[in-house]
């Protein structure tokens, strides 16, 4: 069999595995894999720096299927390339990442082939995709990470990080705003190692993209500062190869390769139609497609002899050689640069550097205090001194979020070794780029106002789904920001973020709780954390009179016990409201009502504590409870019970000075005292 025939057969194997899997599952998207099989094959076989036997080799090229509905394209590639499975401890096993049986179980419960590619579920999936635009936006973070790692670790004679990032995307990706945001920033930064392959087939679920999408994408990307290449036929391997070589040789800016294809290529009646997009072909159309490929029409899940071997002799052999050369180079690097080698090994394992917390500040008691965004900036900069792979930035808000690393430089066009990233007013892309950096093991954060978490939320949800330790910092945490009014005053955002499974929300109550928040954040390996900080100052509590701020790690703790240890009422506060409930407790005490004060910076961490600890902090026998938070009251009933009370928001805010807002919405000592007394009275009347 000639080279041309085996390559054609390999491409058609990708196609037929894909359509067979979708047909058996009675669910899926066959059209894109049928169209893109030659594009992906040419990239994997001829260009990709990837060793299937060691799929987490640090300097591997990254491949992202941003149009994740075409997941069978990726699963077919992983199977045919013989990619090995990596376990939860990041050890490479002898088992395949995707077996033929896995392909036959496409979209079935607990299979390695879910409907959309999922990171940490299927080896070889570099990021979870499906929500369109997220994959390409992640790719910008991965490309930045590659460049940052090179700037930090590469030394003369040791090019440890040289890898490129490829993302296949479709018309849907190009319509999503997050892709535009990310592309704009990538063009500005002149990322030379980023290549998007745009499958331009002019078909969406509704029909032709002419219904809603008629722009010239190539010219748009040229305006962003990208190099734009055109391949007029997705089946032209020579033209594809030339485009990939141009990307590798020209450099200087990111590259967009526009590839024209026919969705459902080979299907007799459905080629080029919307019906090939999101549903099985059907038995007769499937047989017709196989006939057009020269395939046995009744064969199912057929992998002809020589196809797997073809992947091994090209991609496999090339990847093994590159990986072994890298490992040999790193062994020499370890001898010449032992400290950097040690850093890199820790980074790759998501471990902390030695002495990472030695300069974290302890703040003295101060009745005037400071905004937690101010203390947050101080703690972040202290942490960054001994945490060299902590990088990040804000969405054009450094003066407000206080998240600029003062001892480091910024990333600039063509210069990517700095630790400060200026994301511009691009919150959605910022969240996705932060995820891409964290997927590459660089510890990254992004910062903006809490109200704009609405723009960032899709990326935040995915960071939790992927179990990666992205850091999302938000300031201006409540109606307390005052005159900016309800457009900028977050109300429902805290409740929304607490609803994301696996997401840890921290709202510290003073400067020392901020230090403890960062102590907790730094240790995370698989959980994203949301850090919510204030614009207005709060007192720094005297910890000789109040419990240590280390209680933050337990989610909630008894900040101040009632006199005699038997409270009449429990007051629960978070963030800026902690000092408010402290004042209210003192007034209650003066009036003969014994109040316990509980600081509750994190519902999620408190939920993780043993039942005995939860009972100690919030005893079931004490029904009189008042929770105070300048956000939606929604959800607090879990902690205060039916007889408790919530001083929270049940409407949007208003534009006014903070003191007027606090008076209007009941965030005053007098109102908290009133609510506490009422709950005490109510609890007595409802006792059995």
Tally the residues of the chain: 688
Q: What single string gives the DSSP state of each residue in 359-416?
A: T---PPPEEEEEEHHHHHHHHHHHHHHT-TTEEEEESS-HHHH----TTS-B-BTTB-
Annotated ligand binding at 54? The verdict is no
Annotated ligand binding at 171? The verdict is yes
Q: What single string gives the DSSP state of each residue in 211-229?
A: GT--S-HHHHHHHHT-EEE
Total Cβ atoms within 10 A of residue 204: 20
Annotated ligand binding at 203? The verdict is yes
Q: How far apart are CA 87 and CA 84, in angstroms?
A: 10
Q: How far apart are CA 240 and CA 245, in angstroms?
A: 9
Q: Are 455 and 423 in contact (CB under 8 A)?
A: no
The residues facing 196 across adjacent strands are 167, 256
Q: Copy the structure tokens of residue 663.
A: 């008076």
Residues 9, 13, 14, 16, CA torsion sign: positive
Q: Copy the structure tokens of residue 274.
A: 């919307």
Q: Copy the structure tokens of residue 567.
A: 């409270």
Which of the following is catalytic: 176, 427, 513, 629? 427
Q: Torsion angle of alpha carbons 315, 321, 325, 328, nearest 10°? A: 120
Annotated ligand binding at 337? The verdict is no
Annotated ligand binding at 472? The verdict is no
Within 8 A by CB and 6+ apart from 611, the residues are none
Q: How far apart are CA 559 and CA 618, in angstroms?
A: 12
Annotated ligand binding at 132? The verdict is yes
Q: Are 625 and 644 in contact (CB under 8 A)?
A: yes
Annotated ligand binding at 219? The verdict is no
Q: Are 395 and 451 in contact (CB under 8 A)?
A: no
Q: How far apart are CA 200 and CA 120, in angstroms?
A: 30
Q: Copy the structure tokens of residue 202.
A: 């002019």
3-state helix, strand, coil in the chain (%, to 5): 45, 15, 40
Annotated ligand binding at 476? The verdict is yes
Total Cβ atoms within 10 A of residue 650: 10
Total Cβ atoms within 10 A of residue 613: 15
Q: Phi-psi category of 476—alpha, beta or left, where left has phi over 0 and alpha has psi -120 to 50?
A: left
Q: How far apart are CA 602 and CA 608, in angstroms?
A: 10
Annotated ligand binding at 12? The verdict is no
E strand spans, 4-52: none
Annotated ligand binding at 373? The verdict is yes
Q: How far apart are CA 126 and CA 134, in angstroms?
A: 12
Q: What backbone phi and psi angles, to 5 degrees, belong to 406?
A: -70, -25
Annotated ligand binding at 76? The verdict is no
The alpha carbon of 654 is separated from its chain's Cα centroid by a whole number of angstroms, namely 33
Find, among 563, 520, 515, the residue nearest to 543 by Cα.
Answer: 515
Annotated ligand binding at 419? The verdict is no
Annotated ligand binding at 29? The verdict is yes
What DSSP designation does 60 have? P
Within 8 A by CB and 6+ apart from 276, the residues are 30, 31, 34, 203, 263, 264, 267, 270
Place of tokens 């047909």: 23
Whether 427 is catalytic is yes
Q: Are 455 and 428 in contact (CB under 8 A)?
A: yes
Annotated ligand binding at 546? The verdict is no
Q: How far apart are CA 418 and CA 521, in angstroms?
A: 22
Annotated ligand binding at 131? The verdict is yes
Residues annotated within a binding site for thiamine diphosphate: 69, 130-132, 172, 201, 277, 452
Residues annotated within a binding site for Mg(2+): 171, 201, 203
Residues annotated within a binding site for substrate: 29, 277, 373, 400, 476, 484, 488, 535
The residues carrying an active-site annotation are: 427
Residues annotated within a binding site: 29, 69, 130-132, 171-172, 201, 203, 277, 373, 400, 452, 476, 484, 488, 535
């Amino acid at each position: 069999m000639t080279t041309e025939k085996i390559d054609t057969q390999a491409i058609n194997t990708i196609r037929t595995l894909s359509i067979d899997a979708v047909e058996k599952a009675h669910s899926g998207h066959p059209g894109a894999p049928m169209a893109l099989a030659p594009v992906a094959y040419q990239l994997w076989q001829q260009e990709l720096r990837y060793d299937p036997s060691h799929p987490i080799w640090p300097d591997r090229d990254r491949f992202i299927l941003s149009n994740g509905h075409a997941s069978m394209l990726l699963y077919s590639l992983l199977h045919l390339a013989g990619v090995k499975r990596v376990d939860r401890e990041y050890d490479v096993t002898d088992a395949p990442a995707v077996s033929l049986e896995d392909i036959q179980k496409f979209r079935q419960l607990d299979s390695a082939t879910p409907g959309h590619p999922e990171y940490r579920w299927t080896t070889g999936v570099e990021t979870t995709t499906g929500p369109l635009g997220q994959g390409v936006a992640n790719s910008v973070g991965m490309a930045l990470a590659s460049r940052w790692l090179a700037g930090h670790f590469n030394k003369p004679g040791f090019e440890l990080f040289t890898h490129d990032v490829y993302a296949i995307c479709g018309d849907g990706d190009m319509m999503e705003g997050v892709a535009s945001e990310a592309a704009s920033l990538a063009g500005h930064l002149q990322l030379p190692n980023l290549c998007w392959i745009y499958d331009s087939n002019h078909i969406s679920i509704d029909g032709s993209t002419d219904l809603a999408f008629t722009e010239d994408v190539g010219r748009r990307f040229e305006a962003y500062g990208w190099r734009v290449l055109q391949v007029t036929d997705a089946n032209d391997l020579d033209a594809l190869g030339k485009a990939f070589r141009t990307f590798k040789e020209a450099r200087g800016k990111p590259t967009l390769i526009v590839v024209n294809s026919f969705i459902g290529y080979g299907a007799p009646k459905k080629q080029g139609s919307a019906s090939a997009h999101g549903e099985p072909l059907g038995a007769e159309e499937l047989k017709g497609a196989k006939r057009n490929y020269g395939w046995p029409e009744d064969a199912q899940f057929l992998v002809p002899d020589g196809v797997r071997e073809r992947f091994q002799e090209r991609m496999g052999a090339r990847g093994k050689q590159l990986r072994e050369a890298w490992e040999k180079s790193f062994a020499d690097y370890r001898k010449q640069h032992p400290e950097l080698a040690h850093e890199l090994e820790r980074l790759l394992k998501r471990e902390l550097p030695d002495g990472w917390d030695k300069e974290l500040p302890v703040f003295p008691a101060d009745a005037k205090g400071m905004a937690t965004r101010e203390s947050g900036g101080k703690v972040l900069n202290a942490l960054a001194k001994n945490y060299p792979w902590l990088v990040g930035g804000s969405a054009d808000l450094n003066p407000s979020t206080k998240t600029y690393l003062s001892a480091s430089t910024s990333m600039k066009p063509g210069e990517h070794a700095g630790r400060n990233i200026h994301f511009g007013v691009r919150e959605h892309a910022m969240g996705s780029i932060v995820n891409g950096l964290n997927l590459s093991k660089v510890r990254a954060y992004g910062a903006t106002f809490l109200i704009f978490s609405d723009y960032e939320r899709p990326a935040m949800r995915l960071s939790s789904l992927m179990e990666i330790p992205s850091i999302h910092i938000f300031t201006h945490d409540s109606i307390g920001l005052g005159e900016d009014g309800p457009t900028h005053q977050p109300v429902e955002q805290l409740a929304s973020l607490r609803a994301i499974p696996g997401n840890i929300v921290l709202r510290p109550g003073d400067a020392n709780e901020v230090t403890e928040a960062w102590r907790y954040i730094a240790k995370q390996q698989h959980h994203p954390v949301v850090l919510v900080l204030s614009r207005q100052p709060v007192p720094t509590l005297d910890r000789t009179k109040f419990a240590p701020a280390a209680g933050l790690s337990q989610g909630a703790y008894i900040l101040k016990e009632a006199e005699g240890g038997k409270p009449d009422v429990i007051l629960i506060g978070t963030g800026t409201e902690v000092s408010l409930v402290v004042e209210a407790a003192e007034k209650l005490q003066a009036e003969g009502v014994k109040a316990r004060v509980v600081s509750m910076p994190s519902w999620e961490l408190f939920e993780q504590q043993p039942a005995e600890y939860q009972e100690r902090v919030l005893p079931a026998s004490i029904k009189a409870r008042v929770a105070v938070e300048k956000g939606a009251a929604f959800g607090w009933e879990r902690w205060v019970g039916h007889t408790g009370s919530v001083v929270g928001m049940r409407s949007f805010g208003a534009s006014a000075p903070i003191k007027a807002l606090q008076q209007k919405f009941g965030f005053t000592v007098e109102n908290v005292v009133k609510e506490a007394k009422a709950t005490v009275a109510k609890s007595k009347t409802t006792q059995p």
